[in-house]
Amino acid sequence: GVVEAIAVWQQQAPGTPEGTQFGVSQGDLLINDHGHVVFGASLTGEGTNEDNNFGLWAESPDGVLGLLVRSGDPLPGASDDTWIRAQPRRLKFNNEYDVVLHAQLKGSNVDYMNDDVVLGFPGLGEAVVLLREGQVLDLGNGDSRTVFDFDLESELTDDGRVYLLANFTDGARAVIELTVPGAGECAADLNGDGVVDTRDFIAFLGAWAAGDPIADWDENGLIDTRDFLAYLRDWAAGCP
């Protein structure tokens, strides 16, 4: 078989400043049915400290390794200095390249009542908060309860659903379904009509020839032959 190194100790870590290197791989290393991985590792080098010396990396559909989240990144939507500790308590990865991370938070307004969070990364994109300790949930029929803690045990389905057991501050418990926003959407359906066909291919060709940012299919900042081939693959695969 073919042996290929994905990440090597003391080599430059993708998505980090020059001189920041991989340390030791820690926690889960997950692989999807396409043979691509997501994993966590410590970081070393100039500028690293105990608050930012860990990250999560994932391989894109084209096999390009990219930084997903790093300790010290701000919590999306937070109005204060709340930041993410990227060491996973639980980590999930599906065949549509969605990731779910159960992690801890740090910051001046963070305590044991609100320091755990579930983050979703749709298609290896930007983090979205799915659930946080201290959050008030509407359970229907006028029943609202405050989350005390939770346990994320289920796998992540390919349509972006994951299940957890939540404990509430009043002692009640419930099984909660979380959905990663945008998961399961069909990117190759450029015109949004629910069908991947010749019209989508022509639309992509036009965007690609014009240098439209939407044609940067591998999201590397360049529009080139690799984007064309990446879209062609997704177009041939169609929608789920």
Cβ-count burial 201-238 (b if 16+ within 10 Å, e if not): bebbeebbeeeeeebbbbbeeebeeebbebbeebbeee
Strands 99-106 and 83-93: antiparallel
**pLDDT of 59-83, one tens digit each?**
988 889 999 999 999 999 887 799 9
pTM: 0.76
Distance CA 240, CA 230 (A): 17
- The pLDDT, as a whole number, for residue 62 is 80
Q: Is the Cα torsion angle 69, 35, 159, 145 positive or negative in sign?
A: negative
**pLDDT of 170-210, one tens digit each?**
999 999 999 998 776 677 888 767 688 999 999 999 999 99
Q: What is the mean pLDDT of residues 116-122?
A: 96
- The pLDDT, as a whole number, for residue 34 is 86
- The pLDDT, as a whole number, for residue 228 is 94
> Which residues are registered as beta bridge partners of 70?
55
Q: How confident is the model at residue 31 (pLDDT cuts 50, 70, 90)?
A: very high
By percentage, how much of the chain surpasses pLDDT 70? 97
Contacts of 131 (CB under 8 A, 6+ apart): 117, 118, 147, 150, 164, 166, 176, 178
**pLDDT of 127-147, one tens digit each?**
999 999 999 999 888 899 999
Residue 135 burial (10 A CB sphere; 0-12, 13-18, 19+): middle
- The pLDDT, as a whole number, for residue 82 is 95
**pLDDT of 83-114, one tens digit each?**
999 888 899 999 889 999 999 999 999 999 99
- 3-state secondary structure labels for all residues of 205-223: HHHHHHCCHHHCCCCCCCC
Contacts of 92 (CB under 8 A, 6+ apart): 30, 99, 100, 101, 152, 155, 156, 162
From residue 2, give the alpha-carbon distance in Å to each of 5, 8.
Answer: 10, 17
CB–CB of 11/18 below 8 Å? no
Whether the predicted pLDDT of 2 surpasses 80: no
